[in-house]
Structure 1
Amino acid sequence: MRNHLLTHPPLARLCAGVLASALATTIPVSVHAAPQPSESAGAVSTPETSQVRAALDDGDLTTARELAQARTEAAPTVANHQLEAEVHLALGDYQQAKRSLAAALELLPEDAGERAQINAQLAEIEAASRGTKPEEPASTHRDAIDQARADRLAALAPKPPPPPQVVDAPKPVSIAKKWYFWVTLGAIVASAGAIAGIAISSAVDDGDNTNAGTASAGAARQPIPAGGVMFRF
């Protein structure tokens, strides 16, 4: 048969043309059919909730915030907004936490049961940002804290200056050495002596007068002998 084809040149040329046409149409098709790289192959995968929790547990708050924000941007759901708010609270960023919870509320219908929980959480964050929490119990050691603070302030307060010291102060003089003591004592003694003298003088005068009166009365009672005066020795 091969010899038969070779002996008929037109038929050989026809076969060669068909083969060339087949090759020309097959090569471009195979090139276009090569697999193209997918657009999603180079995309960053969305962080998992477990990754955010693990970063929180490890205390890596910066990584936790980055993962939570990336998850919210990829899928802005209520749960993701709440998770991001939790991370912001751990960082002490109350404003960002409130924004995340407000975004979660916008995604919920008005009659959703989760709204009450999120509103209560917003109220707690608002109170914490002001430094007060209504449900916080009263401090049992407040008095001790106030007393310690008062003691510290008293220790820091300027102390009053000490009273000035008297230099070369004279020693106290005994009253027996005071001139007015002896003057007063002399006046008292003189007064007492004068009073005693007057009393003694009065008593002597009274005694003399009594003796004189008695003698005069006795002489008057003695009879005078007749015939002259009699002297008795």
Structure 2
Amino acid sequence: MPRTDRFLDIRRDPHSDELLARGGDSEAHSILQRAGFVAVVRVHETYHRAPTGLAEDDESRLATDAVARLRAAGYHVDCDADFDTDSRPASYLPLGSSVAHVAERLREAATTGEAADALTELTAARDGVLAALEEVLTATADFHDGLGQAADPYIARRLRYLADEHLRVIRTDLSETRNQLADRHAPHPGRSTCTGEVPSTEQERSAVCACPPPPRTLPAPPPSMAAGLRR
């Protein structure tokens, strides 16, 4: 049975005449946003619309580009006839994929040193991901400083606050975590690299390696009786 999140509709709404895109998973939503759509997040659904103020021809170009990108990525897209296209543009790995690779390195890390090396990509003082994110927030704040609308100075101050306070907490905590891991020089007990060798002291004669059993997962404690009797 095909996955429903691989199907999308891109059409003009017959009631509001808005250009809307509905359906898809998070990858499809990323493609829509890179094509220029704006996400509308509600409790029970997330859909996308064209930016306000676009001319009809610009909306059509935006929709056609989105249809082409989505189909190139393997999505099934139903659309108005004006947006249909046989174009399949080449796709490239977004910048976020290189950051996601850090998570993959952490999932595969077998020692504290390997985990520390992965986290260094985030915490490096000058060229780490978090340092670059601070630059992005600051540059966006600078952009809003002279943009001209009444809310823009507030947005600029808010962005600088995020960089100076929230992001600084993340950088400090994650850097400390990285440093602690770098000092431990220990293998992860559940991820040690298997040597494929069996020592002479091994009690299990059929064992093919000396790796320990996986760590036990303790069951959740039962609810407190006192809590159940409280009124």
What TM-score does the superposition give when structure 1 sets the normalisation length? 0.18
TM-score by length of 2: 0.18
Higher RCO structure, 1 or 2 (CA under 8 Å, sep 6+): 2
Structure having the higher strand fraction is: 2
